[in-house]
Amino acid sequence: MTSFRSPVLILVAMTCLPAWSQGLRSPGAPATSSALVPPAATVLVPGIRAADFIVAVVNAEPITNLQVSAEVERIRRQLTAQRQPLPDARELARRVLDQLISERVQLQLAREQGIKIDEPSIDQAEQSVASQNQMTVEQLRRQLEREGTDPRRLREQLRDQLLLTRLREREVDPRVRISDIEVEQYLTEQQERSNDPASQQINMAHLLVAVPEGAGEQQLVELEARAQRALQRARAGEDFAALAREFSDAADRTNGGQLGLRTGDRYPPLFLEATRMLAPGDVTGPVRSGAGFHIIKLLERRLPGLPPTTVTQSRARHILLVPSTQLGEAQARDKLNDFRRRIVAGETDFATLARQNSQDGSAAQGGDLGWASPGMFVPEFERVMDQLAPSQISQPLISRFGVHLIQLLERRNATLSAREQREMVRNMLREKKYGEVYDNWARDVRARAYVELREAPQ
């Protein structure tokens, strides 16, 4: 059954970030807007008069009370659906007006700079909205009509969001820079915290060879030898969960001896000391406690302020066509659709077409982008890639860099190298800095605009 939470539709935030490598890699800047929902039919908050009036003028463009009321109602419905408390109506209306003014100023600036959004990009955005709501585009449009919203209004909103995104990419993203010194300082601060067990989150698995109370010397030797056999097999690469089920006398053997991710101060000091120098995946033992001999495997160790040491990586390849005066976006998409049809039909292979047609540095490798950790590609590319199964080919994807055809080759769980962890830290710091840089830029843009506040929204 199709899941749909009427009347609020989910609208994917349209974000496109600057290239990192081959027109795809992302330096980690965050999305420039949160998830949005298109408004339902204009419904006024109780107590608001029906007559419309101008509440503000932004460089000669009016913002009306009905526009503020529709956005207020949308937010109220969203908060109600999420079971969150509703803010004061007047304060919410004031904040909504402030946001609408900022967006109107930025949209005007985007148009002044000649930024344009073509219809195929809006088509793709509309398809994303429909997919997020688990329906087709036609079903989405019918649902909007049933709720009293013109589907063309959704497309207008998508165009505006894409304009804002492209403007912020151009104006804000280049201002967000993280130096090597900032990365080093952050890592140093986090390492200083790592000596405090309460600041670490650790996951271990263990197996226990129990020692009965009053066991004799010969029995101790036999039990320790049993624990040693389990240790040797674990270090030889055998599945630890299977070994726990075979050897362990502990009650948690049925779940492979996993103790679960918890802060270090919730582990026995004996376990913490035994694993202090281990890397994730290492095994130690036998460790003697009052209960018997333990074989311990460190599964994961993380600090809340640091990225995980293991991630799921994807290896994909793509064909990129860059629109030009000779090849429009729609033509590029049609061309990639033909490529996809030929590949699926077995008439040719992906790598050959990538070498012959792709317009980026991966062409020589048949479009192979290598192994990539989460966050290495721009969000709109990564979102499509993450939905693919191995060997599956996507539909053509439009990004700010052009039109892509993606094929997922394989996935794996990988331990990050020190360099990869540093890059994830850099991306994390960049994301934190982005908000401050964006706020300063937005205030500056608004300060240069003419804004006249008239009647307060009601």
Rounded mean pLDDT for each run of 10 residues along the chain, 458 residues in total: 31 33 42 35 38 88 91 86 84 92 94 88 81 80 86 90 90 89 84 68 91 91 94 92 92 86 86 87 92 92 71 91 83 92 94 93 92 82 88 86 91 81 83 88 93 88
Q: What is the rounded distance in angstroms from the CA atom of residue 212 to the CA atom of residue 374? A: 48
319 assigned to some structural domain: yes
Whether residues 64 and 164 fall in one domain: yes
Picking from 188, 199, 186, the residue whose alpha carbon sits closest to that of residue 431 is 186
Domain assignment present for residue 112? The answer is yes
Q: Are residues 68 and 138 in the same domain?
A: yes
Q: How many domains does the chain have?
A: 3
Check residue 372 and give its pLDDT: 87
246 and 331 share one domain:
no
Indicate whether 113 and 62 sit together in one domain: yes
Give the per-residue pLDDT at 407: 95
| Residue 73 in domain | yes
Q: Is residue 40 within 8 Å of 77, Cβ to Cβ?
A: yes
Same domain, 168 and 59: yes
How many CB atoms sit inside 10 A of residue 436's CB? Answer: 10
pLDDT at 51: 62
Q: Identify whether 117 is part of a domain.
A: yes
The candidate with the shortest Cα–Cα distance to 429, out of 185, 207, 220, is 185
Residue 259 is part of a domain; what is its CATH number?
A: 3.10.50.40
Q: Are residues 315 and 296 in the same domain?
A: no
Secondary structure class of 305 (helix, strand, coil): coil
DSSP result, 68-121: HHHHHHHHHHHHHHTT-PPPPHHHHHHHHHHHHHHHHHHHHHHHHTT----HHH
Do 294 and 317 share a domain, yes or no? no
The two tokens of residue 376 are: 């290495």
Q: Both 58 and 162 in a single domain?
A: yes
> Distance between CA atoms of 429 and 439, rounded to whole angstroms?
16
pLDDT of residue 195: 63
Tell me, yes or no, whether 150 lies in a domain: yes
Helix (H) and strand (E) counts in the chain: 13, 11
Structural domain includes residue 30: no
CATH code of residue 444? 1.10.4030.10
Which residues constitute the domain of residue 206? 196-302
Q: Which residues contact 275 (CB under 8 A, 6 or more apart)?
A: 202, 204, 282, 284, 296, 298
What per-residue confidence (pLDDT) applies to 196? 67
The DSSP secondary structure of 215-255, one letter per residue, reads --HHHHHHHHHHHHHHHHHHHTT--HHHHHHHH--SGGGGG
Q: Is the pTM of this model over 0.75?
A: no
**In this structure, is residue 282 part of a structural domain?**
yes
Q: What backbone phi and psi angles, to 5 degrees, belong to 59? A: 50, 50
Contact 265, 198 (CB under 8 A): yes
Task: Give the tokens for residue 258.
Answer: 């996993």
Q: Which residues contact 87 (CB under 8 A, 6 or more apart)?
A: none
Whether residue 291 sits in one domain with residue 221: yes
Query: Of 302, 333, 351, which one is at a domain's C-terminal end?
Result: 302
Whether 156 and 233 share a structural domain? no
